[in-house]
Structure 1
Amino acid sequence: MAISSEHKGESTPKASGEIVKIENADIREEDEWIQRYPLLRDKSQEELDGLNKAVLKKLDWRFLPCITAMLLMNYLDRINVSNARLAGMQKDLHMSDVEWSAGISLFYVGYIISQVPANVLIAKSSPRIMLPCMMLGWSACTICMPAVTSAWGFMLCRFLVGLTEGPFVPVVALLTSSWYTKQESPLRMGIWHAGNIISNVFSGLLSAAILTNMDNVAGLSAWQWFLLLEGIVSILVAIPGFWLLPNFPNNTGTYFFTPEELEMSQYRQLVSAGGISEDDEGDYWGGFWMAVKDPFTWLFAGMHFFIIIAQSFKDFFPSIVGTLGFTKVQTYLVQAPPYVISYIVTLVISWSSGRRLEHCWHIVGAIAMSLVGAAVMISTLNVGARYFSMILLCSGPFVALNIQLSWETTVVPRPRTKRAALIAIANCVSSVSHWFTPYFFLTNQEPRYQLGGGCIIVGAGLTIVFCVATRYWCIRKNKVLEKEEERTGVVNSWRYAS
């Protein structure tokens, strides 16, 4: 078979998505697993490889572009107020810094409330329907935002946007890990993470186009047009999702795959997880309690929390770039290159992580860039050095977050409800940081933002601590598995990727 459990060897993702066959795979074990699938059991190796390629091709050319576009709009709608602030939204609504930061924080109140219950429920339902519906919900809230006239209206809209956006990224991570093998996931998650990274590029470019040319058009401020147009585009992106997204391998219909491809999708995941099916156990809340009791959940939650602290500059990036002394249009435009570089770095490091099935040191190396970037930002006013520090700030946490998501879905693959709960819990814990980090980037901290930079340094350092602790726990769990094999003589194909 063209895929394998990690302890049997290393599979290398190619540019085409093909997975190289592992010569030392345990054929006896895979022969036993394939008997569960009537449409596959009598096929030759060449036919199985052909089906594997067909499944990957459909996922890479239908699911992946669709979810990337949806995530681009998800993140764009999340950060749009940062550029709207630069264009005068805070001033027009007569909001103080504290009121503005409260609105940013309330987004994450709604974001946290909805994540765990929604992700656990969607794990056994239809993401094909729920994801586009969530997108339509936050788009409607964004379209309403230009009508607000006070601080409380801004806060309410941001809360509702957070409520509808909350489950989206955890569900996408869950869905990706349900279709791609552990070798394939890091690169694919890196590709759809483009939505997170490239949205910042688009936000800067759109700001330069809209916020500088549409002020007072039809009696609306430029920032009102900016939010209105983004909400409309988000609706247009959501609608195709009803046809381009799959559900899970066990409940996706033939609208997406042929019956043989559906069985191949399930078999790929069975081999990747060492012979354990996604649906072997776990009801809605049984999986939740399994996640709560697993130390991995809290290790990844801590890691995620501090990665987001290291990324806390994101909502204020236009204001930070504004301290470099460029004109308003130049400030919008020079936001783009750091995020373009960040995206390229994310793809390269994520590819390396998946190829080597190694996560810890890839995260440590990436997050160290943020630590250096923050140190430079607060220690000098030199424009060139500060701009370089912003490139480092952007690259580190995006890479680390992408690999962390892949890692947590790799070491806790089954049952699906447990994996869903782990992803959501970690995301919820990390989102708590947004309740206080906005207060570290107030205007009275300009131009160095010493408090925010110090926050980033602490977040990066503690990310490294949690990362190394998680690696230690993986190694310890693997030693327990090896001792059990020696005691019983029964080979267990599962190993925890570190």
Structure 2
Amino acid sequence: MVRNLSAVRAFVWGERPSTKLERGLLLKIDWFILSYCCLMYFSNYLDRSNINNAYVSGMKEELDMQGTEFNKINTIFTCGYIVGMIPNNLAIQVFPPRIWFPLMQIAWGILTFCTSAVHNVESIYGIRFIQGMAESSTFVGTHYILGSWYKSAELGKRSAIFTASGLVGTLFSGVLQAAVYKHLNSVAGRSGWRWLFIIDGIITLPIAFYGFFVFPDVPATTKAFYLTEEERVLAHERLGPGTDVQQHDLSWGLARRVLSRWRWYGCSLLFAISGETESLGSNNIMGQWLKAIGGYTVEQNDYYPSGATAFAIVSTLLCAAWTDYSGGRSVVLLYMAACCIVSGICLLVPGSPIGLKFFAFYLAGASYAGQATTFAWANEICADDNQERGIVLASMNMWNNVINAWWPLVFYPATDAPDFQAGMIALICVSVATVAVTYLVLWLERREHLRSKKTPSASLEEQEASHSSLGGDPREKKAT
């Protein structure tokens, strides 16, 4: 019985640390890192997805939005997100994350308030661009932080909990908009969709102030009041000799290291493609479909797409637990791709019943399961180079958003509602491509491991001595 309980615990939350000191450390970082990062990402997605809910809840009519103006809002936000991606991830290697993260959160919270007062779509364009720059700090920045504190077998679950918190924000946004429309529409002369932005801003700001006080930065620089000196040392040592979490000065050697290896190319390509399977959810295609076919209330247009988000949360958590337990990441991407292929086929079938379409939209929520796993995988691949890891994580999300900037305009324009035939064909194609790139990255990773076994890398101290004598970057020839 005890053995069965231990196996269940290992699957759900990982192996129990062997020492009391490590158990205490893990408990503390789980609480303080995950509590702030998850609340931050929750508010991030809440403030990001509210535009989708506002659009189907009266904003379109009040601002007289025409054609693809809704798609342009998301595209402009994505452009801001792209611009801010790498600078934000480099910033947290220069400035304390406990300062940088909350400052960016305050910025996008204020911009959320501003959105409640707009009177034309052009104002939303400007706000969303700057908001995208601020919000781009959160996703890859947190994955960098998680990779700095957690062992490989702990990383998938924590990445999944973080990702799920954003999905909860999306889920809550739909429920919140429906409630706001029902109870606050026309209160104080404001439309229900305007109240949504006000409430979201109110939720965001206290979370930012919480981060100022509790976030621990990274093991090499942490001064968190709740960690003892012994725990600070252990936080670094427990990750193992092959993991680099030291802070290093920025130099051109970083660019040479990153561009001379396969990791930047392979991981960026993987998420650039696999991330597009999320398009049905990120563009609220189900909500647009419901609005276009008619027969549903505003509240139903907000509520019903939440089923896909709920399935996304369950898939994300279960898949991450499985990958940590089994040690393999690639299987999740294959599961995700299979679900999206089935979903795309069901939605392409002409004259298919409403129930089948609901099933297909909900099944497509599995696309989010690959998000946490892909970034946990990249953290592991780049574990031996702290700076490269930060660049690769940022580039993965950046290239995905480069595609996001035009993908909805081409394949999911609002004028295609309710059918979105081009989008469903694109979903099937990008799912097949995800399978191919997953196997490519898996092959490259295994080849690198085989080479490293045949040619063991020198210790960090030996590399530093060797390269400093040549005037080069001390970590440039680390692992190939």
Q: TM-score under structure 2 normalisation?
A: 0.88
| Equivalent residue, structure 1, for 2:388 | 418
Contact 1:128 1:242 in 2 (8 A): yes
Q: Deviations over 1:388-447 (max 9, x none)?
A: 11121111x211111000000101013322111111111111101222122222333222
Q: Which whole-Å CA distance do the structure 2 matches of 1:52 and 1:214 have between them?
A: 49
Contact 1:278 1:416 in 2 (8 A): yes
Q: Which whole-Å CA distance do the structure 2 matches of 1:212 and 1:319 have between them?
A: 20
Q: Which whole-Å CA distance do the structure 2 matches of 1:285 and 1:423 have between them?
A: 18
2:246 aligned with 1:279: yes
Q: 1:140 to 1:285 in 2, by over 3 A?
A: farther
Letter in structure 2 aligned against 1:14 = A
Moved over 4 A (4+): 15-18
2:213 aligned with 1:243: yes
Contact 1:182 1:410 in 2 (8 A): yes
Q: Which whole-Å CA distance do the structure 1 matches of 2:247 and 2:191 have between them?
A: 55
Task: Report 1:135-150 matches (<5 A).
Answer: 135-150=105-120
| Equivalent residue, structure 1, for 2:472 | none
- How far off is 1:455 after superposition? 1.9
Instruction: Work out which of the residue numbers 315, 328, 342 in structure 1 matches 2:283.
Output: 315
Instruction: Work out which of the residue numbers 335, 339, 347 in structure 1 matches 2:305.
Output: 335
> SS at 1:100's partner residue?
helix
| Equivalent residue, structure 1, for 2:343 | 373
| Equivalent residue, structure 1, for 2:419 | 448
| Equivalent residue, structure 2, for 1:50 | 20
Instruction: Work out which of the residue numbers 256, 261, 268 in structure 2 matches 1:301.
Output: 268
> SS at 1:97's partner residue?
coil
Q: Which whole-Å CA distance do the structure 1 matches of 2:244 and 2:335 have between them?
A: 34
Q: Which whole-Å CA distance do the structure 1 matches of 2:355 and 2:375 have between them?
A: 33
Contact 1:287 1:415 in 2 (8 A): no
Letter in structure 2 aligned against 1:301 = S
2:75 aligned with 1:75: no
- How far off is 1:280 after superposition? 7.9
Q: 1:213 to 1:97 in 2, by over 3 A?
A: farther
Q: 1:351 to 1:118 in 2, by over 3 A?
A: same
| Equivalent residue, structure 1, for 2:64 | 94
Q: 1:481 to 1:406 in 2, by over 3 A?
A: same
- How far off is 1:163 after superposition? 1.1
Q: 1:330 to 1:100 in 2, by over 3 A?
A: closer
> SS at 1:239's partner residue?
helix
- How far off is 1:288 after superposition? 4.3
Instruction: Work out which of the residue numbers 371, 375, 378 in structure 2 matches 1:405.
Output: 375
Q: Deviations over 1:201-244 (max 9, x none)?
A: 10111111012332221111111111111112111222111112
Instruction: Work out which of the residue numbers 252, 275, 296 in structure 1 matches 2:222.
Output: 252
- How far off is 1:118 after superposition? 1.9
| Equivalent residue, structure 1, for 2:465 | none
The count of aligned residue pairs is 447
Contact 2:177 2:196 in 1 (8 A): yes
- How far off is 1:146 after superposition? 1.7
> SS at 1:183's partner residue?
helix
- How far off is 1:20 after superposition? 4.9
Q: 1:82 to 1:289 in 2, by over 3 A?
A: farther
Instruction: Work out which of the residue numbers 10, 13, 18 in structure 2 matches 1:14.
Output: 10
CA RMSD, Structure 1 to Structure 2 (Å): 2.2
Q: Which whole-Å CA distance do the structure 1 matches of 2:259 and 2:456 have between them?
A: 27
- How far off is 1:91 after superposition? 2.3
- How far off is 1:471 after superposition? 0.4
Q: 1:98 to 1:289 in 2, by over 3 A?
A: farther
Q: Which whole-Å CA distance do the structure 1 matches of 2:251 and 2:142 have between them?
A: 18
> SS at 1:84's partner residue?
helix
Q: 1:276 to 1:82 in 2, by over 3 A?
A: closer
Q: Deviations over 1:177-208 (max 9, x none)?
A: 10111110001110111122112210111111
Contact 1:369 1:393 in 2 (8 A): yes
Task: Report 1:147-226 matches (<5 A).
Answer: 147-226=117-196
More off after superposition, 101-110 vs 210-219 = 210-219
More off after superposition, 436-445 vs 140-149 = 436-445
- How far off is 1:291 after superposition? 2.2
| Equivalent residue, structure 1, for 2:33 | 63
Q: TM-score under structure 1 normalisation?
A: 0.85
Q: Deviations over 1:316-374 (max 9, x none)?
A: 24223445643322232222232222212211110111122211122112222112112
Task: Report 1:342-361 matches (<5 A).
Answer: 342-361=312-331
Q: 1:460 to 1:82 in 2, by over 3 A?
A: same
Contact 1:372 1:389 in 2 (8 A): yes
Contact 1:132 1:238 in 2 (8 A): yes
Q: Which whole-Å CA distance do the structure 2 matches of 1:16 and 1:205 have between them?
A: 28
Letter in structure 2 aligned against 1:119 = N
Instruction: Work out which of the residue numbers 447, 463, 466 in structure 1 matches 2:434.
Output: 463
Contact 1:200 1:335 in 2 (8 A): no
Q: Deviations over 1:233-291 (max 9, x none)?
A: 1112221111121100011114131111111100112x1xx444322866355434422
| Equivalent residue, structure 1, for 2:363 | 392
Contact 2:268 2:396 in 1 (8 A): yes
Contact 1:70 1:238 in 2 (8 A): yes
Letter in structure 2 aligned against 1:255 = F
Instruction: Work out which of the residue numbers 443, 452, 455 in structure 2 matches 1:481.
Output: 452
Letter in structure 2 aligned against 1:150 = N
> SS at 1:114's partner residue?
helix
Contact 2:13 2:157 in 1 (8 A): no
Give the fraction of aligned pairs with identical amino acids, expressed as a percent: 22
5+ residue gaps, structure 1: 1-10, 22-45, 487-495
> SS at 2:116's partner residue?
helix
Contact 2:216 2:224 in 1 (8 A): no
Q: Which whole-Å CA distance do the structure 1 matches of 2:315 and 2:426 have between them?
A: 23
More off after superposition, 229-238 vs 87-96 = 87-96
Q: Deviations over 1:92-142 (max 9, x none)?
A: 222222322222111011111111122023124311111111100011111
| Equivalent residue, structure 2, for 1:107 | 77
